[in-house]
A and B are shown apart, each in its own frame.
Chain A
Amino acid sequence: MSSLPTYFKKQNLAVMVIGAVLVGFIVFLLLFKYYSEVELRRSGMEQMRLNTEKHAVVVGHIFAEQKEALKDLRKNRELSAYFENKALGMSLEYGLRDSVFGIAQVFDHYLNDKKLDGDRIFTRIVFLESRGAVLVDRPENRSIQAKEQNLEKFLAQDPPVARIIVETQGSSWQVMISIPYFFKDAFSGQIVAWISSKTVCHYLIKTIGGASGRQVAVINSQGEPLCPPGGPGPEIEIMSPQDFQILSASPTGEVHRFESIREDGSKVDIVALRVPIPDTPFFLVTATPAAKVLGRTSPRQLLAVMAILALIILGSAMIIVRGNIRNQVLQASFEEAAESRKVLEDKNRQLEQEIGERQLAEWARQQSEERYRLLVKQIPAVVFKGYADWSVDFFDNKIETLTGYSKEEFDSRRLKWCELILPEDLEQVRHRFINGIKTGGAYSREYRIRKKDGRTAWIQAMGQIFYDTEGKLDYVSGVFFDITERKRAEEDLRQSEARLAEAQRIAKVGSWEWNLRSNRAIWSEELFRIFNLPTHEYGLNFDDLLQYVHPNDRESLKHGLAEARGSGKPFSMDYRIILGDGSPRYIHASAEIITDEAGEPALMRGTAQDVTARVLAEQKLQESNERFAAVFENAAIGICVADAGGRLLAANPSFQEMLGYSAAEMLAKTFPDITHPEDLPKNLELFQEMMTGKRKGFQLEKRYLRKTGELFWGRVIVSLIKDAKGQPLYCIAAVEDIDQCKKVQEKLQESERNLRYLASQLLTAQERERRRISSELHDELGHTLLTLKLNLRAIERELNPDQQALAEEIESLFYDLDEVIENVRRLYLDLAPGDIEDLGLTLALRMLIDEYARNNQDTQWSVDLINIDNCFTLPGQTAIYRIFQEILTNIGKHADPSLVSVRIKESDNRVFFEIEDNGRGFPSEEANHYRKRGVGLLAMEERVRMLGGSLAVLSQKDQGTRITFSVPFSEGGKID
């Protein structure tokens, strides 16, 4: 009882502490609640702003949707039909009115069909023609239509675009969508559609407004609501018209809180904001009683209330504690005394029981330890007892032999067993140890330890895990064996086997042993690989092996083995095996017989080597040699082999026949001996380049000398054969007799020269004839026509005034005659371009190009000419002029280009002409076809060739044509 005052002091202190903690907690709660309320208000207003913006987007989407729908209305066939018929000149009385009716019908259907939540969206649709006239105004409402004459104000501004219009009429306003209409890309009218305010307001109330006493409204920039109070507007009206005015002057997106005075004079605290409705000129307003958003009490009020509550709780708690303290003291004293007595009695009983058990256990332990020490001393291993912290107890000093560390070092607990285990093995040992604890029972592990002298030792640890009564690890008891020597022997054996296997793999040699008594064979891994069989403990015995041996080799293998077995002599032979996939493999086998103590054959041991690659290579080589010999002997062309010095080593019969030498005579020759002296330098140069590695071989057409002294043309292809080091061994030459071909070619060239001469003569004659005809036309026909014209003029002058009809007839004849004269003039100018003589080639070409440009005005011309008047003789200039005429005519007739460029340049006493267009072009492979089609390509080429020049045509389908030609100056020609 003497401890009771202390007890009470402690309890009072505890009560005070608890009270203080409680007050602190209440203060914390109050502050937390205060800041939560503040945050709640802020988030409430933010939420309201976000909701309003979201609703504004929804409302904006409604208008945007209607705008898009009205755009679709434009695609209606009736509208375009009206404009098509109108464009055809049809009148309303005869046909066009029906088109107007068609549009009206479409509008009527549209007005009826387009609904929002069951209400019609549009109240009126008007089609205004581009000049402002009303074409269609639906639905028919004479009173409205008569009143509103000024609909052209809705016509689209420039550029015409779809837009939403607000039309104010007095205190109310309405929304219209105006869509421009285009017929064949020309602005042709305007569709104006009135949106029903009633429908929009109903939709707003139904989908957005109404909930939580919220009022939603659409207002214009003056603060006038789309749905005025008392109309089809909101069921909840908490904002007065003045409130809308106030709100319209405030920034958008900002929440405002103010008092609104209702009609009955009561005040209501509201929060409201307005946000713009996207793509429209008006705003969405939402207003809500402030209590709905901000709560009915302010955070400060809440703070005061909760503080008072906290004080009351604290005071009450203190009074209760003081009142109950005496009773608690007495009760605690009694309970403490009873508990102490009970504990003392229990402890006495336990002590008596433990003393008896300990005496018995001590005797048993002494007996057991004695037996255990005897066992530990006798076994050739280190006995240990390990604990969870890796400390180990050893029972004798054998551990020092194993590890170099003394027993005392382990007993002192300074050295743990895990410190000896090599780090690379430690994790595995630890892992297995943990697993062993889970699974329990005996275990055996092998791992490495680091001895005190730094050397590594392999040990085998065998032990048993023991658990305490709670199932936790108590200790481990077991033995360590030193297995270092065994491990080293195993490693040596493994490495030896691996080396053998690797050697066998490289050499493709498998080894085998055949126990002749048990008829059981052991194969090396390589042998299994050679036979393409999965590795097995035993190999195939002889009978099974024969199944794989090629049928033709079976008997010889049987015979060879039987003979070796009988004689005891070593055995060696080649045979083939057939693998599972049917492919053959060549084996070289050798074996020896091992006899037992009695001299009887007991074992046959041997090797089998896969020699397939070698055998196949030999076969291919032989085939190749045979083929070469056959080709060499039987080839129709001459083939000879010469050494690096050019001496002939071999010549086939064809080559011998070509030159008329026998085989023996040929071997005494070098290739210069049989080469024409004029062709020899070239031949020697090529031969030297080949020998020095500059070229692999060469081809040459040269003349050979026959034994009779005659010459013949041959085409020789020479290849060099090198040795393994890349040094020239010999060369092989294939000679084709092209003597006849050469002769034909020479004749052909002669014929071509003649042909070209004829062609040039033809062109010259043609030019001469043209000039003659031109001269005839100019001098004879032109003169005659002129005389005729003068005579007619004289007749006209002789006519009497009353012969008006005849005068008109003569006037008509003048017109025809002028046309004929002009045609004749054009014809003789075309036949003999006199401009060249008069104006020079450069200006004549310029005028020619200008004339073509005039006739092809859709084509852009780029002309870059230099003065070439004195570069060529007159026939040369005429030929160049003709070429230009031909090219430009072809462009005009076939190319249809948008751009033609003509360039003339000079370089190295040559003039380069280039005419390029970006017209249709033609595939270059069809150039011959165009030559034959008479587009003048052949004549152009011939003219250029006559002038000693060359012409090239480059063309691709749809990518234009480029014609270039160059002509050397005529003798004495120069650039001015």
Chain B
Amino acid sequence: MKQQRLYVNYLSSLICTIVVSLIIFGLERPVSGLDLPEILQKGELRHLGVPYANFVTGSGDGLDVDLIKFFAQHLGVRYRYVKSSWEEVLADLTGKKVRPRGDEVEVLEEVPIKGDIVANGLTILAWREKVADFSAPVFPTQVWLIARADSSLKPIKPGGRLDRDINAVKALLRGRQVLGKLNTCLDPCLFHLGKEGAKVLSFEGKLNELAPAVIKGKAELTLLDVPDALIALEKWPGKIKVIGPISPRQEVGCAFAKTSPQLREAFNRFFEGIKQDGTYLALVRKYYPSALRHFPEFFKEGTGK
């Protein structure tokens, strides 16, 4: 009898351990992202970021880092930065690893969700909108074709219309090597450069290293978005030149899981507020002063507090 009781106790302990483990590990792999109530309840906002230009510098600051910190402060929760990569960042948000197929996506597998919001200069692209929801645009951008200074390719003469300029740039690419980073906003495939006769080279390094790679002679041409191109021109004057635009005007936004609509709405309200009171312009002036001059219509002065 005594031996039977011991056996029951042992079994009970085992079941309890299994249940606790399931609770603990099961929580790490939720099937959907957290929305605003859960975040408020949890008291923490997880910012998924990839170091890129001055959006996320990798040194603990950046335009998007400051922006999400302000947002966390606005919500009254803790801020936590979660480091990710360009390949994983959307999967870390949505729990689904996907492969873009043109403007469509192919779901590959499910992965753990690691954050609540992606903000690192993420361009709003059609295929990305299939996976996640985007906030109101927070930053304008455009992709430029950049060449090494000694390249035989000459910058185009602006023709007065952006589509003509893009076509003029693409017409120069036949037989030329263009360095880009696949599955990012600087993926040459997004702009169908292969079809234009360009030889697309995949860059294995970070986006921040594209301009240095061209200067070092890894390739003759590369793609840079305007904010990054302006920084590169300031950093390495005379080493690179802007051939012309390769994309129409684009916009950058913060990405949210499709299961977090309340969080997205809260962010949009918050963003509109700081844009009006001048806080956001101060952030932009701090990290991208030249962007204010290039995109004056986007960064119209707010009414102020």
* Chain A interfacial positions (CB closer than 8 Å to B): 77, 80-81, 84-85, 88-95, 97-99, 101-102
Q: Is the CB of A95 within 8 A of B241?
A: yes
CB proximity of B35 to chain A, nearest CB, Å: 41
- Complex Cα–Cα for A88 and B237 (A): 10
- Complex Cα–Cα for A101 and B289 (A): 10
Return chain A residues, CB-CB under 8 Å to B195.
Answer: none
Instruction: Count chain B residues whose beta carbon lies closer than 8 angstroms to a beta carbon of A.
Output: 22
Q: List 21 A-B contacts (CB under 8 A).
A: A84-B237, A85-B233, A85-B237, A88-B241, A90-B155, A90-B242, A91-B155, A91-B158, A92-B158, A94-B144, A94-B156, A94-B242, A95-B155, A95-B241, A97-B293, A98-B234, A98-B293, A98-B294, A101-B290, A101-B293, A102-B234
Mask, B200-224, CB within 8 Å of A = 1, is 0000000000000000000000000
Given A77-B237, A84-B238, A99-B233: A91 and B156 within 8 A (CB)? yes
Closest to B155 in A: A89
- Complex Cα–Cα for A93 and B293 (A): 12
Q: Is the CB of B229 within 8 A of A95?
A: yes
- Interface positions, chain B 217-276, Cβ under 8 Å from A, are 229-230, 233-234, 237-238, 241-245
CB proximity of A76 to chain B, nearest CB, Å: 12
CB proximity of B223 to chain A, nearest CB, Å: 13
Return chain A residues, CB-CB under 8 Å to B230.
Answer: 95, 98
Q: Is the CB of A85 within 8 A of B241?
A: yes
Closest 8 CB pairs of A and B: A95-B242, A81-B237, A84-B238, A88-B241, A89-B155, A93-B158, A94-B242, A89-B154
Q: Is the CB of A94 within 8 A of B237?
A: no
CB proximity of A707 to chain B, nearest CB, Å: 89
B77 in the interface, Cβ–Cβ < 8 Å? Answer: no
Return chain A residues, CB-CB under 8 Å to B154.
Answer: 89
Closest to B160 in A: A93
Closest to B169 in A: A94
Q: Is the CB of B241 within 8 A of A90?
A: yes
Q: Is the CB of A98 within 8 A of B290?
A: yes
CB proximity of A721 to chain B, nearest CB, Å: 83
Interface of B is mostly: mixed
- Complex Cα–Cα for A91 and B160 (A): 12
Q: Is the CB of B294 within 8 A of A97?
A: yes
B157 in the interface, Cβ–Cβ < 8 Å? Answer: yes
Return chain B residues, CB-CB under 8 Å to A88.
Answer: 149, 155, 238, 241
Return chain B residues, CB-CB under 8 Å to A98.
Answer: 230, 233-234, 290, 293-294
Return chain A residues, CB-CB under 8 Å to B229.
Answer: 95
Q: Is the CB of B158 within 8 A of A94?
A: yes
- Complex Cα–Cα for A146 and B304 (A): 31
- Complex Cα–Cα for A80 and B234 (A): 12
Q: Is the CB of B238 within 8 A of A85?
A: yes
Say which residue of A80, A91, A102 sits within 8 Å of B157 (CB atoms): A91
CB proximity of B128 to chain A, nearest CB, Å: 26
* Chain B interfacial positions (CB closer than 8 Å to A): 144, 149, 154-158, 165, 229-230, 233-234, 237-238, 241-245, 290, 293-294
- Complex Cα–Cα for A88 and B234 (A): 15
Closest to A105 in B: B289
CB proximity of A103 to chain B, nearest CB, Å: 12
Return chain B residues, CB-CB under 8 Å to A94.
Answer: 144, 155-156, 158, 165, 242-245
Closest to A100 in B: B293
Say which residue of A80, A93, A95 sits within 8 Å of B233 (CB atoms): A95
CB proximity of B186 to chain A, nearest CB, Å: 17
Return chain A residues, CB-CB under 8 Å to B234.
Answer: 81, 98, 102
Closest to B159 in A: A93
- Complex Cα–Cα for A81 and B229 (A): 14
- Complex Cα–Cα for A84 and B240 (A): 10
Interface centre among A88, A99, A101, A102 (most CB of B within 10 A): A88
Interface centre among B157, B229, B243 (most CB of A within 10 A): B243
CB proximity of A236 to chain B, nearest CB, Å: 47
CB proximity of A82 to chain B, nearest CB, Å: 9
Return chain B residues, CB-CB under 8 Å to A102.
Answer: 234
- Complex Cα–Cα for A80 and B244 (A): 21
- Complex Cα–Cα for A388 and B238 (A): 103
Interface centre among B156, B234, B237, B294 (most CB of A within 10 A): B237
- Complex Cα–Cα for A101 and B234 (A): 11
- Complex Cα–Cα for A90 and B229 (A): 13
CB proximity of A576 to chain B, nearest CB, Å: 86
CB proximity of A77 to chain B, nearest CB, Å: 7
CB proximity of B232 to chain A, nearest CB, Å: 10
CB proximity of B219 to chain A, nearest CB, Å: 17
Closest to A96 in B: B242
- Complex Cα–Cα for A94 and B158 (A): 8
- Complex Cα–Cα for A91 and B157 (A): 7
- Complex Cα–Cα for A98 and B242 (A): 12
Return chain A residues, CB-CB under 8 Å to B149.
Answer: 88
Interface centre among A90, A92, A94 (most CB of B within 10 A): A94
Closest to B229 in A: A95
Return chain B residues, CB-CB under 8 Å to A95.
Answer: 144, 155, 229-230, 233, 241-242
Closest to A102 in B: B234
Closest to B290 in A: A98
Further pairs besides A91-B157, A94-B243, A98-B293: 11, Cβ < 8 Å:
A81-B234, A81-B237, A89-B241, A90-B241, A92-B158, A94-B156, A94-B165, A94-B242, A98-B230, A98-B233, A98-B294
Return chain B residues, CB-CB under 8 Å to A97.
Answer: 293-294
CB proximity of A100 to chain B, nearest CB, Å: 9
CB proximity of A268 to chain B, nearest CB, Å: 57
Return chain A residues, CB-CB under 8 Å to B237.
Answer: 77, 80-81, 84-85, 99
Return chain A residues, CB-CB under 8 Å to B294.
Answer: 97-98
Return chain B residues, CB-CB under 8 Å to A85.
Answer: 233, 237-238, 241
CB proximity of A184 to chain B, nearest CB, Å: 11
Return chain B residues, CB-CB under 8 Å to A93.
Answer: 158, 165
CB proximity of B125 to chain A, nearest CB, Å: 22
Return chain A residues, CB-CB under 8 Å to B242.
Answer: 90, 94-95
CB proximity of A231 to chain B, nearest CB, Å: 36
CB proximity of B50 to chain A, nearest CB, Å: 25
Return chain A residues, CB-CB under 8 Å to B144.
Answer: 94-95
- Complex Cα–Cα for A830 and B30 (A): 88
- Complex Cα–Cα for A396 and B149 (A): 126
Return chain A residues, CB-CB under 8 Å to B245.
Answer: 94
Return chain A residues, CB-CB under 8 Å to B293.
Answer: 97-98, 101
Closest to A84 in B: B238
Return chain A residues, CB-CB under 8 Å to B233.
Answer: 81, 85, 95, 98-99
Closest to B145 in A: A94
- Complex Cα–Cα for A98 and B295 (A): 12
Closest to B237 in A: A81
Return chain A residues, CB-CB under 8 Å to B244.
Answer: 91, 94
CB proximity of A655 to chain B, nearest CB, Å: 82
Closest to B151 in A: A88
- Complex Cα–Cα for A143 and B233 (A): 33
Return chain A residues, CB-CB under 8 Å to B158.
Answer: 91-94
CB proximity of B187 to chain A, nearest CB, Å: 21
- Complex Cα–Cα for A102 and B293 (A): 11
- Complex Cα–Cα for A913 and B149 (A): 53
CB proximity of B294 to chain A, nearest CB, Å: 7
- Complex Cα–Cα for A85 and B147 (A): 12
CB proximity of B182 to chain A, nearest CB, Å: 25
Return chain B residues, CB-CB under 8 Å to A89.
Answer: 154-155, 241
- Complex Cα–Cα for A89 and B240 (A): 11
- Complex Cα–Cα for A85 and B241 (A): 7
- Complex Cα–Cα for A84 and B244 (A): 17
CB proximity of B210 to chain A, nearest CB, Å: 16
Return chain B residues, CB-CB under 8 Å to A91.
Answer: 155-158, 244
Return chain A residues, CB-CB under 8 Å to B155.
Answer: 88-91, 94-95
- Complex Cα–Cα for A480 and B13 (A): 142
CB proximity of A75 to chain B, nearest CB, Å: 14
CB proximity of A93 to chain B, nearest CB, Å: 4
- Complex Cα–Cα for A234 and B246 (A): 62
